[in-house]
């Protein structure tokens, strides 16, 4: 399995996020989505984690299945909430023993049916994973600031401290390239130059993306709402414009030197495939990514904030 930190040093990465299925129907859909996207030779995929034993088991099952059955680098999410330090040591140690070299360390949101957890912040989880031998560790970044941060300035200080311990970051989704450029500039002002991969969420349902944005403490920009709102009664045109907006954002990010693109697929493949083809990424990036060579809301239930990098 390739280390994401190594892949980022070689050039732009192209990756997907999945969430663990809860039902047999969702399991079949995820399997088909992975099958549809595997020919794109993603640099890596990530698998979300809500917190608590049942979510942990589902995430672990998806990651281990991908590693065993497909030539894809898979990175599990792990959160501080609902776990003691001992449990986290067991989980991280189990992943490392299984050959998982990449981990996305997150603070996480409270889980109603579980305790608050012994570690309070993702930085502590990064330190724990590093002490256990973790060699490629990512963290989350919020272009608009974390919803629990009192202001953007303090958010950037905490993010910079977290990134200093980790190897790379992945952002929550956003809709304007200026949000990413401002984040990168503010981190640079704090002395941080580690790669931060922008997260991309194609808007296929305005109500759904508004709901997820609010959970993440981020409002969908007014100009995006103005563009898509009048099209809600025309699903085909709404979808076309939503994918067009995402594709344009991707182009702007690549032109600005972003280290890659990370797509929140919601366990569907079609929108990501359309954006990939519109960007002609295979031609631009020279075919299959190194990770493959070396190691060989449309429907359903959208993930809550607890099941994203937020």
* pLDDT at position 56: 81
Q: List all residues 6 or more positions away from 96 whose beta carbon is below 8 Å from its beta carbon.
A: 132, 133, 134
17 is a catalytic site residue: yes
Among the options 17, 101, 186, 307, which is catalytic? 17
Instruction: Let me know: does 78 contact 52? Beta carbons within 8 Å.
Output: no
Q: Identify the CATH class of 4-297.
A: alpha beta
Instruction: Let me know: does 196 contact 169? Beta carbons within 8 Å.
Output: yes
Output the tens digit of pLDDT for each of the chain's 310 residues: 799 999 999 999 999 999 999 999 999 999 999 999 999 999 999 999 876 677 788 898 999 999 889 989 999 999 988 888 999 999 999 999 888 999 999 988 666 556 667 898 999 999 999 999 999 999 999 999 988 889 999 999 999 999 999 999 999 999 999 999 999 999 999 999 999 999 999 999 999 998 888 877 788 999 999 999 999 999 999 999 999 999 999 999 999 999 999 999 999 999 999 999 888 765 444 343 333 333 333 333 344 433 445 4
* pLDDT at position 48: 94
User: pTM value?
Assistant: 0.89
């Amino acid at each position: 399995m390739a280390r994401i930190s190594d892949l980022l040093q070689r050039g732009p990465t192209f990756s997907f996020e999945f969430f663990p299925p809860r039902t047999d129907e969702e399991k079949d859909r995820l399997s088909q989505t992975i099958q549809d996207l595997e020919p794109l030779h993603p640099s890596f995929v990530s698998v979300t984690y809500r917190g608590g034993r049942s979510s942990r088991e589902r995430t672990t099952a998806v990651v281990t299945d991908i590693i065993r059955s497909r030539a894809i680098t898979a990175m599990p999410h792990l959160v501080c909430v609902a776990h003691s330090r001992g449990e986290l040591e067991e989980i991280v140690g189990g992943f490392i023993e299984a050959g998982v070299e990449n981990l996305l360390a997150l603070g996480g949101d409270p889980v109603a049916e579980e305790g608050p957890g012994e570690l309070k912040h993702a930085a502590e989880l990064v330190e724990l994973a590093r002490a256990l031998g973790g060699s490629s560790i990512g963290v989350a970044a919020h272009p608009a600031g974390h919803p629990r941060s009192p202001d953007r300035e303090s958010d950037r200080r905490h993010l910079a401290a977290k990134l200093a311990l980790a190897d790379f970051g992945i952002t929550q989704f956003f809709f304007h390239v200026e949000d990413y450029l401002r984040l990168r500039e503010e981190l640079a002002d704090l002395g941080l130059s580690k790669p931060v991969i922008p997260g991309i969420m194609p808007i296929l349902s305005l109500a759904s993306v508004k709901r997820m944005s609010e959970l993440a403490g981020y409002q969908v920009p007014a100009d995006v709402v103005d563009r898509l709102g009048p099209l809600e009664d025309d699903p085909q045109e709404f979808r076309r414009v939503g994918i067009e907006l995402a594709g344009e954002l991707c182009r702007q990010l690549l032109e600005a030197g972003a280290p890659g693109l990370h797509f929140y697929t919601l366990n569907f493949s079609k929108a990501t495939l359309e954006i990939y083809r519109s960007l002609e990424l295979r031609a631009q990036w020279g075919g299959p990514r190194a990770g493959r060579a070396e190691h060989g809301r449309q429907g359903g239930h959208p993930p809550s904030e607890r099941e994203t990098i937020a």
